[in-house]
Chain A
């Protein structure tokens, strides 16, 4: 049995020790299935406490999947307002409606949301010019970008990584397909990080990233409550990597990724 402090805490169901940042979490209702307590922010914070998650990067499902703007990001605004030291707010936008998108970005930025979340589930390929409006907004303000990926989009995103070099990018669901391509992006572009959440939870993927020498670019994420927090945490905690690498992936890399924007 391992004596790794992360593993031992997890076996006993104790809150993890050390800095833990979940860079990709969600709030709000989803049309496809009902999540119990999906509007209960207080319970959400208690859930983070129980697992030892110090900081959560939160995006609103009604905005990023439902395309609802204005208003789709309200729960994120509320989370950042009530717990400024616990949440980093990702503003999700719907580039089909560029005027409303820019207004929503402005509103949420003023409310303290310092990240941009993009998801092509709204039905627009990332190559569409309207994304540039949001990216220009983010770049002008030093906002990082959390972008939904599923392998195939990386080719069309690569131009963005080059063009927006001052923007830090987090590629969601890294390794869900073509893990070697995600590694190549993380190696090639200093501003590209990988986030871990993936429902399939394949054995060996976290170890692969470490073996490929990109451990300093990998950030823990759960997608919770879209998925269960503990399940995704277990993928990193029980990965066959050193405790030092776990500390990087669970928190230190995200702190570096967010820099001065890290909630306090």
Chain B
């Protein structure tokens, strides 16, 4: 909890956030007025009241997963508030021991979660294509992060159905009201988790999600570095839900997912 001083001196407790959507590393094309990196991220976290972040590295999607995975480990080393995420592809962990051993080594090195980015890497996120890696992640209950624009509704449905032990975290869901595809997926799959980042800018959207599906599958995310993170903070602080639900979305749900990883 964070202490908040209101005008007039009233003191209240603000919530602490665990960001599930942060990407460090300079992009190929520069962002106006922003130099994304660990120092900038930490400053943003302090400004916004974010105490922890799952961190991905831009190089994973713009250079290559091996380079990006090395960089994210190196750049988050010694920072307990930053939890590194590795990018995996269907051909990850081809070395002896297979995907199970590879997943173990990944977790041993301190990696908190995995992400896949199929649209830019010439594969599809479907069970027949990614079975080896998804099986290994599901066995250890390692959260898998995927961005909405990288997959289709059918692909999500098939992966979630084929790997019910796999916690899938969907980032950057679109700004659409009662999203007809997303709601159907949430109804169908208990292992689907959705980040309520600023791209999910829906009138009374968090209230509607919690009312229909309960609060336990929704995660706070800022969209660092492109997006003004204050938008994410306000989305949650103004949502008319219980404080218990707000805390769960702010940090509790993601902490629970990471505790459930079988290391």
Contacts and interface: CB of A to CB of B under 8 A. Distances in A.
Contacts of B201: 199, 201, 227-228, 231-232
Contacts of B176: 32-33
Given A11-B233, A50-B238, A231-B201, A239 B228 contact: yes
Contacts of A206: 228
Interface string B226-246: 111111111101111000000
A36 B201 CA distance: 13
Interface of A: 1-3, 5, 7-14, 17, 30, 32-38, 43, 47, 50-51, 199-208, 224-235, 237-240
B202 interface: yes
Contacts of A1: 2, 4, 46-47, 49
Given A12-B6, A231-B201, A231-B235, A203 B227 contact: yes
Contacts of A17: 7
Contact of B238 (A32, A51, A199): A51
Contacts of B208: 36
A191 to B, nearest CB: 28
B164 interface: no
Contact of B234 (A2, A8, A230): A230
Given A225-B203, A229-B203, A234-B232, A3 B238 contact: no
Contact of A11 (B34, B227, B232, B237): B237
B101 interface: no
Which applies to chain A's interface (DSSP): helix, strand, loop or mixed? loop
Interface in B186-213: 198-199, 201-205, 208
Given A234-B231, A238-B48, A33 B6 contact: no
A201 B2 CA distance: 25
Give 4 closest A-B pairs by Cβ, nearest first: A238-B230, A234-B234, A225-B203, A234-B231
B204 A36 contact: yes
Interface of B: 2, 4-7, 12, 14, 31-34, 46-49, 175-180, 198-199, 201-205, 208, 223, 225-235, 237-240
Contact of B4 (A8, A199, A208): A8
A47 B226 CA distance: 28
A104 B165 CA distance: 57
A37 B205 CA distance: 11
Given A208-B32, A231-B234, 19 more contacts: A5-B6, A10-B233, A30-B177, A34-B180, A35-B202, A36-B177, A36-B204, A203-B226, A227-B203, A228-B204, A230-B234, A230-B239, A231-B198, A231-B201, A232-B231, A234-B231, A234-B234, A238-B47, A238-B48
20 contacts: A1-B4, A3-B5, A5-B6, A8-B4, A8-B5, A10-B238, A13-B238, A34-B180, A36-B177, A199-B175, A200-B227, A203-B228, A224-B203, A225-B203, A230-B235, A230-B238, A231-B235, A235-B231, A237-B234, A240-B47
B211 to A, nearest CB: 9
A232 B235 CA distance: 9
A200 to B, nearest CB: 7
Contacts of B47: 1-2, 238, 240
Nearest to A227: B201
